[in-house]
Amino acid sequence: MSIIPRRALPLFALLLAAPAIAEDDSRALLGQPVLALAQYQGVAGVLATATGGARGAVSRRLREPGPGLALLGDRYVYGWGCGAEGCAAGGIFLAQDFVQGRIYLLLLEDGRTRLAVPPSTAGWPPALAEAMRGFDTIRAAQIAAPD
């Protein structure tokens, strides 16, 4: 005798599969521009809240050229976009920890950090330093060896 009524089995199976499907979605974005990650359901809402007054600058930088989204280990999807002046002078780095659902964002303007989420490099996982090296070696070193 089953505890779950037979007619509920398809719905139950769908609910059990939902986390695996959602987890695979951000990895399905690999190779796409960083804007695709920013628009992803698990990232877009957090970005809208976290960017505040920098929302316009974030939006512009997300549309700039950069490599396609990549996978770091079995935990992070990341990418960046940079202006003609180069990434360290003006660009955006965005990563998602798809295991915990956290995002990491760094917006650079005129060679300075305009916005970082989380705001301190101490809050960034050291593993992201590897992903950030192609974007900005100075900030990557700060993440690898936090304050």
Helix pair angle (55-62, 41-51), 10° resolution: 140
Quote the pLDDT of residue 146.
Answer: 64
Per-residue pLDDT of 54-108, as tens digits, reads 999 999 999 999 999 999 998 999 999 999 989 989 999 999 998 998 999 999 9
pLDDT at 8 over 70: no
pTM for the full predicted model? 0.80
pLDDT at 141 over 80: yes
pLDDT at 7 over 70: no
Judge contact between 117 and 92, C-beta under 8 A: no
